[in-house]
């Protein structure tokens, strides 16, 4: 500043020059993350813009197998989305247990590359890109799986060496009330050669624990408003149907819910559970 003043530049212009420097957007910083399993290595590169709202651009994935590069291209439709592995917030850490890794997801001895991303927004949306190897073409292709408002935990629930995607059924979001009042029943998937298969019914103990959780949630929150009760009971009844105890669940729900829209709620709940596959054609 002293040199500027000595050059005959007025103080006002000096401060204006300094302010313009401060307000200039900082250049994007290039970052990369690496994950590996066996002879498969993946490198996720991205540009992070230093703005008040975190922005990520130029997301690119490189996969090498046995030292040979088989894929090096931008992530599909990901521009502006947030790779969870790059976020340092508590929320991201809690929801990013498998944010970027190389792992055999279907037990075929061939690791897949998994990347979790977040589209931004108050409640939505997270999704996963899974890259799998095709031995015939010796290339990798991507499959996209949507999680909606929630995420998942990648866990080997039955200790057989093949992990499960332990999550929640996002179809229940806003079904009977606000996001905060919605209940989300347990939903578990397995990845099998490019597809997610719902295997929730294979874990009755977890379903039972989830049903108990939603019933207790109803008991504790029913005085917070009608919609809180409806959301919790919907998740509870979904779990009961998964356990083959739909009739018992209905008896408890009909006895417990005292809202002024009882009959309308029961009708809508039955229709919704049928549409989402919890009530089969033969079930009542």
Mean pLDDT of 168-195: 92
Find the angle CA(148)-CA(149)-CA(151) to the nearest 5 degrees: 80
- Residues with Cβ within 8 Å of 213's Cβ and at least 6 positions away in sequence, in order, are none
**Mean pLDDT across the stretch 208-235?**
90
CA 6, 12, 18, 20: dihedral to nearest 10 degrees?
A: -140
What pLDDT does residue 166 have?
96
On whether the CB atoms of residues 23 and 83 are closer than 8 A, the answer is no
CB atoms within 10 A of CB 70: 17
pLDDT at 50: 60
pLDDT tens-digit readout, 76-121: 988 778 888 887 655 455 554 578 999 999 999 999 999 999 887 7
The predicted structure's pLDDT at residue 90:
54
Average pLDDT for 257-281? 93
Which whole number is the average pLDDT over 54-68?
90
* CA 97 to chain centroid: 11
Per-residue pLDDT at 138: 95
Mean pLDDT of the chain: 85
| Cα–Cα dist 114/132, whole Å | 9
Per-residue pLDDT, 280: 86
pLDDT for the residue numbered 115: 95
Which residues does residue 228 pair with via DSSP β-bridges, in sequence order? none
Beta partners for 84?
A: none
Residues 6+ apart with CB under 8 A from 242: 185, 186, 200, 201, 204, 207, 278
Sign of CA dihedral 156, 158, 162, 163: negative
Q: Is residue 251 predicted with pLDDT exceeding 90?
A: yes
Q: Report the half-sphere exposure of 252 (CA within 13 A, side-chain side).
A: 21
In terms of average pLDDT, the best of 22-36, 138-152, 196-210 is 196-210
Q: What is the pTM of this model?
A: 0.82
pLDDT 10s digits, 4-42: 334 443 434 333 333 333 344 555 577 889 999 999 999
Distances in whole angstroms, Cα of residue 243 to Cα of each of 206, 220, 268: 10, 23, 21
Average pLDDT score over residue span 147-154:
87
Assess contact for 113 and 140: CB atoms under 8 A: yes
Place of tokens 């010796």: 138
50 alpha carbon, distance to own chain's centre: 24
Confidence (pLDDT) at 53: 53
**% the chain with pLDDT above 70:** 81
pLDDT exceeds 90 at position 233 = yes
Give residue 51's pLDDT.
Answer: 57
Token pair for 109: 């001895």
């Amino acid at each position: 500043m002293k040199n500027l003043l000595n050059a005959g530049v007025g103080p006002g212009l000096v401060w204006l020059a300094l302010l313009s420097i401060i307000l200039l957007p900082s250049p994007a910083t290039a970052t990369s993350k690496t994950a590996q399993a066996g002879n498969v290595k993946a490198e996720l590169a991205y540009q992070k813009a230093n703005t008040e709202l975190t922005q990520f651009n130029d997301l690119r994935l490189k996969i090498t197998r046995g030292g040979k590069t088989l894929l090096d291209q931008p992530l599909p439709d990901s521009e502006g989305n947030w790779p969870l592995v790059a976020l340092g917030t508590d929320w991201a850490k809690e929801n990013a247990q498998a944010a970027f890794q190389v792992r055999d997801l279907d037990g075929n001895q061939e690791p897949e590359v998994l990347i979790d991303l977040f589209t931004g927004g108050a409640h939505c949306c997270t999704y996963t890109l899974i890259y799998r190897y095709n031995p015939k073409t010796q290339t990798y292709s991507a499959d996209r799986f949507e999680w909606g408002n929630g995420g998942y935990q990648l866990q080997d629930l039955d200790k057989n060496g093949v992990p499960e995607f332990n999550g929640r059924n996002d179809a229940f979001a806003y079904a009977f009330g606000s996001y905060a009042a919605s209940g989300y029943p347990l939903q578990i998937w397995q990845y099998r050669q490019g597809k997610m298969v719902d295997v929730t019914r294979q874990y009755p103990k977890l379903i039972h624990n989830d049903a108990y959780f939603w019933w207790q949630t109803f008991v504790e929150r029913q005085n917070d408003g009608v919609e809180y009760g409806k959301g919790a009971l919907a998740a509870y009844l979904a779990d009961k149907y998964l356990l083959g105890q739909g009739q018992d669940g209905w008896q408890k729900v009909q006895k417990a819910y005292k809202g002024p829209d009882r009959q309308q709620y029961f009708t809508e709940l039955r229709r919704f559970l049928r549409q989402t596959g919890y009530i089969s054609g033969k079930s009542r």
